Structures are given as structure tokens and as C-alpha cells.
Amino acid sequence: MTFRNLKAPLIFNLLILLSACNSGPKVIQPESDTDVEQKSSNIFSVEPSDTPVTGSNVTGFTEDLHSVTVNEILPTSKYIYINVTEAGNSFWIATRKQEVEIGQKYFYKGGLLKTNFESKEYNRVFDKIYLVSNIVPERHGNNANPLGAVSETKAPITGSTSNELPTEKITPQKGSVSIAEIVKNPSKYEGKTVQITGKCSKVNPNIMNRNWIHLKDGSLDEYDFVVTSDTFVAEGKTVTMQAVVGLNRDFGAGYTYALILENGEVIE
């Protein structure tokens, strides 16, 4: 048989072989909001075998929302393992290091399922664990504050778990109003745009299509003062923002505020 006669069958067989290789299972890297947040945190590593537990079309915070009660906490140097119960089912989640209380209820969205997850610090393997970028307590708004009773020197402690930064007096930019002044006279500022200068003590990013920025300026640090914004502000950063004062706002899922600043814009 000549080489020319062999050429066509060889090419045909080669095409079949290539087609068979390409028809095998494809590895798809999960791409969800939670997945991206976990990659950027440098805490959790994402592998092709991980399963994102969130829908691609989820836009509202109350959709795909988990409400869990904390049973046990295992802290590590970078994050914490939490055994939780939801609808009678107990399971483990891992999230960034933060203050969490046993017996309390928390919310979180989505998550990334890992199987056979090894904890070297505890020398154990979790059959299943969900990696979660952030959890928030059931009552994390400042709705516990009776605004009329607040003074410049003392305010009721809220249910927030905002990070405690050393108290310091922030030098306000020209035109800024102190947090104490707004809290003392909320009706005076309702619906108006104000300017404040403060340090970010905590931020809950990308919830209900906005970032929830907790600010302190040294004038009333007992009060959990929150500004919503499209702009992300890193914890520990001092910023000057302009925002609209809102009273008695209820966003759902525990986001209830007697006083809040909305649509904040960073001007410096």
C-alpha cells in the first residue's frame, strides 16, 4: 500500500483522537461574588473542585441569605472555624477573623463548599466546610440607640461588632460636622447632605449593592455611625465624605438604623 493511500485514514484517525480528547470533562473555575472576595482576601485558596453555593442571578441581600446560630468557635491565626445550626442542620463554616458570640444568630450570603478540608492548626479534617467572606450579627444596625437620649459624651452601646480602634480625635476637614453633633441633633440634618471626617473602623462590602462603612471621629466613638456608599473604604483609613442623613431606615435582614448616612461620596 502506498503512502498516499495511508494518508487519508491516518488523518481521519487523528481527528477522531483529538475529538475524543476534547470531549472529556472540562474544569470550570467558579466565578461568583463570594469566590472573588475570597481570592482577594488571601485567606482561602480556591480550587477547581470547589463548589460555589450561590446563584449567578442573585442581586438582593435577602436572596440566598443564610441565618445561622453559632454553636462552637475554633479561632486560628488568620480566620475562624464556626460550627453553626440552620433549620436544624449543623455544619461548619470558615470566615475572616472577627468577634463572634456562641448562641447568637448571624447572617451570611453564598459561600464556597470545600470537602476534606484540612486544618493543620487543629490537626483535623472537615468532611465539609463552607468558606464565607463575611458574617454579620442579627442586629447589627444602630437601631438600639434612642437618639433623643444621646449626649456628646456618652451614647448607648449598640449591637454592632465593629472593630475597636484606639480612640483618637480626628482633625476634621473644613466644612465637616462632627458625628456627635449629628447624633445630638438628627432631625436638624434629616434629608440634608452633610460632610464628615472619620476613620473607618469596619466595612461590610457589597451588601444590597452598597458598602456599609463604620466611621469614628473621636467625638462619639461609642456610637456605631454608618455611611453607605458605592465607594469602598479600607479599615483604618481616614476619609472625608459627603452623604445624606436618613432617619428610621429599615433595609431588612437586620439592617435597621435610627440614624444613617446614605449615598456617601469620598471627597478626600
Model confidence pLDDT, tens digit, residues 26-50: 222 333 333 333 433 334 555 555 6
- Pick the more confident residue, 190 or 252: 190
Asked whether residue 151 carries a pLDDT value surpassing 70, the answer given is no
Among 182, 183, 218, 181, residue whose Cα is nearest residue 201: 218
pLDDT at 51: 62
- Pick the more confident residue, 264 or 223: 264
pLDDT at 48: 55
pLDDT bracket for residue 66 (50, 70, 90): confident
Give Cβ neighbours of residue 113 (< 8 Å, ≥ 6 apart).
50, 51, 52, 53, 128, 129, 130, 131
pLDDT at 139: 64
CA distance 186 to 178: 12
CA distance 196 to 175: 8
Asked whether residue 218 carries a pLDDT value surpassing 50, the answer given is yes
pLDDT bracket for residue 170 (50, 70, 90): confident
Assigned C-alpha cell, 230: 458605592
Asked whether residue 74 carries a pLDDT value surpassing 70, the answer given is yes
Model confidence pLDDT, tens digit, residues 244-263: 999 998 887 677 889 999 99
pLDDT at 149: 37
Model confidence pLDDT, tens digit, residues 100-150: 999 999 888 878 999 999 998 999 999 999 998 878 887 665 544 444 333
The mean pLDDT value for 195-217 works out to 89
Asked whether residue 226 carries a pLDDT value surpassing 60, the answer given is yes
pLDDT at 97: 85
Backbone angles phi, psi at 13, to 5 degrees: -65, -35
The gap from C-alpha 207 to its chain's centroid, in whole angstroms, comes to 7
CA distance 244 to 192: 5
- Pick the more confident residue, 29 or 211: 211
CA distance 44 to 84: 19
Assigned C-alpha cell, 252: 431588612
Taking only Cα atoms into account, the Rg of the chain, rounded to an integer number of angstroms, comes to 25
The mean pLDDT value for 227-253 works out to 91
pLDDT at 140: 60
Q: Are residues 105 and 142 in contact, defined by beta-carbon separation less than 8 angstroms?
A: no
Asked whether residue 65 carries a pLDDT value surpassing 60, the answer given is yes
Q: Which domains does the chain have, with CATH numbers?
A: 33-137 (2.40.50.140), 147-266 (2.40.50.140)
Q: Are residues 165 and 201 in contact, defined by beta-carbon separation less than 8 angstroms?
A: yes
pLDDT bracket for residue 11 (50, 70, 90): very low
Asked whether residue 160 carries a pLDDT value surpassing 90, the answer given is no
